[in-house]
Structure 1
Amino acid sequence: LLAAIGWLIAGDYARAQQGLAQMNQQLADRVQQKEAELRESFVRLADLERARAVAAERARILRDMHDGVGTHLTSAIRQLQSGLAAPGAVEQTLRDSLDQLKLSIDALTMEEGDVAGLLGGLRFRLAPRLEAAGLALHWQVDQLPAWPEGRTEAMRHVQYIVFEAISNVLQHSGATAIAIRATHEAASETTPAGVIVLRVQDNGRGCPAPSERNGLRGMRTRARAIHADLVVGPYGDGTSGCEVMLRLPLTPPPLALSAR
């Protein structure tokens, strides 16, 4: 009797072990299947994210082309249609359009946060025009820290603002010299990590009158978009010359608190 009971118990144990092994195998198969499904989902999500990034970059490039190249081409067409514009003025507008196109291409490979490199690219593109216009270039770009907010779109905003400031000197100032300076100012209560300060200065006839400052609207809009301060005012003794100053805080802006 004891042998029979032992045999029954052993049989039940063997069957239980077999059932447990089958359950473990089924569970392992399901886990493996779910892991494969998760990997496929991650791959699809990564593909979608890359597609979104590409679409966003294309949209940004098209927007830059419209705001920069398109605006200058439209201005050139209007100048020609009016019959009143001097050939030199139309030429300057077309050159601005071409430079904007080249800078849009440069923006594709700009290193994020490298403001000194951005300025170097502008110098490379615009130095021949400055020389051809008889403008002596004074260049002072100190060693600058990386700009924490300097992602691709923010760098493009800075590039546009500095380009527009230089273009205004070329077209409207009557200057014989232009200075481009970049410094790192020490920390303060409002900027605990300091600030990068960019200056475009000329010795021309002075800053334009408020009624002639339509071009500054886009510069101010872009400065606000990157939480930077843009100041336009007299340079030198205040009777001649103009300075465009852009301040880039190295401390990220505080997050807005949700309304209670």
Structure 2
Amino acid sequence: MSRRPDRNTSAIATIPESLLHEGRNELIIHLVTWGPVGGYLDSVYAGPDKVLRPVHDQRSIMFETLPLILVAGQATLGAILGLIWINRRNDRSYGLLALAMLIGFFQYFVSMPASPQTLGLVGAAVVTQAPLVLHFIVRFIDMPPPRWLHLTFVPGIIIAFAGLTGQHDLLHAIFLPLGPPTIALCAAVACVLLGNAALRGNRKALIMAPVFSVMLGCALNDILTVSRLLPGERIFIGWFGYSIVLIVIGVWLTWRFVQALNDADSFADRLVKQVSEAEVKLRASFSREEERARAAALASERTRLMRDLHDGLGGQLVSIVALAEQPRDTTNTIGDAARAALRDLRLVINAMEEIDGDLMLALGSWRERISGQLRAHDMQLVWSVQSSHGLPVYPGLRPRHVIQVIRLLDEAVTNAIKHSGASIVTIMIETIPGPDGDARGQISVRDNGCGFAVDAVNGAGTVQGRGLLNMKKRAALCDVTLSVTSAPLGTTVSLLLPADFPEATQGG
């Protein structure tokens, strides 16, 4: 019958009754062996089937059924560890142990007798599992693997090539001096490494040492059995010990991986809880910050409103009071001052309206106001919007910016009324590309008056000089570029608006 010489499987054969005769019968058994491990014939029993069959079945359960169950569990764990390694390439210990398990699984099902090539591969697989386990132990105890450790794979490679030659004698001559000593050497190195690591307090080595001792004892028994140093029946238990140890290690690694997943889930739950608590705190903090920001914005707006009323309406009311107290008739002058004060009050009120960054809305109100003002002086207003959408929308536009722009335009129109002698005032609104290529709004106030010498009044102490200087200061508060050009045919005051208005302005 086909039997593997490294497994203690029993064989039972029925002797036909016709071959038996009265008296003494002689039974001749021929043993044909193959492979690098020598065959052996254990105890032979002869007797009735009902006596021998239970013993044979018990032996089959121990050395055929049980190893099959172990190898199935080994393959399952090997597949699980392999999948873990595929998804965790940085942890090679899983991959090494999975490879050792799968090699043991496949070589278990090689049937005998077999060709020298197959025998060589089986022998190489048996020997290669020892270096794989050694590499696993080295990485498992967090020890950097030395380069010479890779030499432990050389005997398995040599045995495989010896089998490929197809010569039984060569395979036998190479396997015995290389195979068992390699397994013994790997076991000894593993014991030394585990011992040193355990003495240093390595927790993994303390766990691995007792488990590995079981496999080491089983392997030592097989080595002594193969070397015929142990008398009596040759029972190989290394394969049992190796499979059980691999299964125990695999289960422990799987359990460790599951524990790591549980720890990760617990950490994620704690992190989610902490993030939720932090989110609640941040929301409360944001609410407080928003309240403070609203309070600060309200206080700033109040301050600005008071400053605008003080600088504009307050000064004009003081002038009205001073004119009213004069002994001469100043009725007309007081009326002009009152109308100017009313216009300034309307300007402040209009600037308070929410325009969502659309300056065209404020310019529409301003247009109605200056139209009446120009008509009172027999001057015509020409309103020209060059682009279909007028001016760009400015998200940062605030009431304080609107007041500054409108006052600049008021000053330009007032100068045209007082000094130009013009009959037509043209307001041109357009969107032009800025120096950096972005869209920039521009508002121009042009008259057809007599003009004036711009260079002569720049920085001068005249009324026109002071007025132009005040316009430049007001334009600087909003990052507006002010340009004034004048010729005998008229004067043009242009306001080039910024890409976006500054967050804060000073003065007013």
Q: Is the 8 A contact 1:89 1:171 kept in 2?
A: no
Partner in structure 1 of residue 345 of structure 2: 101
Stretches of structure 1 lacking an aligned partner (at least 5 in a row): 1-26, 254-260
Residue in structure 2 matched with residue 220 of structure 1 by the alignment: 472
Looking at structure 2, the residues matched to 192 and 85 of structure 1 have their Cα atoms a distance apart, in angstroms, of 57
Alignment partner, residue 229 of structure 1: 481
CA distance in 2, matches of 1:83, 1:233: 42
Residues 27-80 of structure 1: CA deviation (Å, up to 9, x unaligned): 9xx979887665544433322221111111111111211222223334445556
User: Normalised by the size of structure 1, how large is the TM-score?
Assistant: 0.70
Aligned to 2:195: none
Q: Residues 54-203 of structure 1: matches in 2 within 5 Å? A: 54-77=298-321, 88-143=332-387, 144-148=390-394, 150-152=396-398, 153-187=400-434, 190-203=435-448
Q: Note if 1:247 corresponds to 2:496.
A: yes
Letter of the 2:442 partner, please give it. V
**1:102 and 1:117 mapped to 2: Cα distance?**
15
- Does the 8 Å contact 2:392/2:440 carry over to 1? no
Task: Indicate if the aligned counterparts of 2:447 and 2:492 stay in contact, CA closer than 8 A.
Answer: yes
**Does the CA-based 8 Å contact 1:229-1:247 persist in structure 2?**
yes
Tell me which amino acid in the other structure corresponds to 2:443: L
Aligned equivalents of 1:239, 1:245: Cα separation in 2: 18
Is the aligned partner of 1:53 residue 2:305? no
Structure 1 residue identity aligned to 2:305: I
Distance 2:325 2:424 in 1: 33
Identity value in percent = 30
Query: Matches of 1:170 and 1:87 in 2, distance apart?
Result: 21
Identify the range of structure 1 (30-39 vs 103-112) with the bigger mean alpha-carbon deviation.
Answer: 30-39
Q: 1:239 to 1:62 in 2, by over 3 A?
A: same
Count of paired positions: 222
Distance apart, 1:223 and its partner CA? 0.9
| Letter of the 2:392 counterpart | A
CA RMSD of aligned residues (A): 3.3
1:150-205 CA distances to partner (integer Å, 9 max, x unpaired)?
Answer: 51122222111112212233344333221111111234xx2421422211122334
Query: How many Å separate the matches in 2 of 1:216 and 1:61?
Result: 24
Does the 8 A contact of 2:392 with 2:441 survive in 1?
no
Between the aligned partners of 1:191 and 1:89, the Cα distance in structure 2 is: 48
SS in 1 for 2:357: coil
Gaps of 5+ in 2: 1-269, 503-508
Q: What is the SS of the residue equivalent to 1:104?
A: helix
* One-letter amino acid of the counterpart of residue 182, structure 1: I
| TM-score with structure 2 setting the length | 0.38
When residues 228 and 52 of structure 1 are mapped into structure 2, their CA distance, relative to the original with a 3 A threshold, is same
TM-aligned CA distance change 1:72 to 1:176, over 3 Å: farther
User: What residue is the counterpart of 1:18 in the other structure?
Assistant: none
Give the distance between the partners of 1:204 and 1:86, measured in 2 at CA. 29
Q: How far 1:88 sits from its partner (Å)?
A: 4.7
For residue 244 of structure 1, what is the amino acid of its counterpart? V
Structure (1 or 2) with the larger CA radius of gyration: 2
More divergent stretch after superposition (88-97 vs 150-159): 88-97
Whichever structure has more strand as a proportion of its residues is 1
Shift of 1:84: 8.5
For residues 187-238 of structure 1, give each alpha carbon's deviation from its aligned partner in whole angstroms, at most 9, with x where no partner exists: 4xx242142221112233434854122223332112112222112231xxx2
Q: Structure 1 pair 166/77, CA: closer, same or farther in 2 (3 Å)?
A: farther
Change (3 A) 1:102 1:251: closer
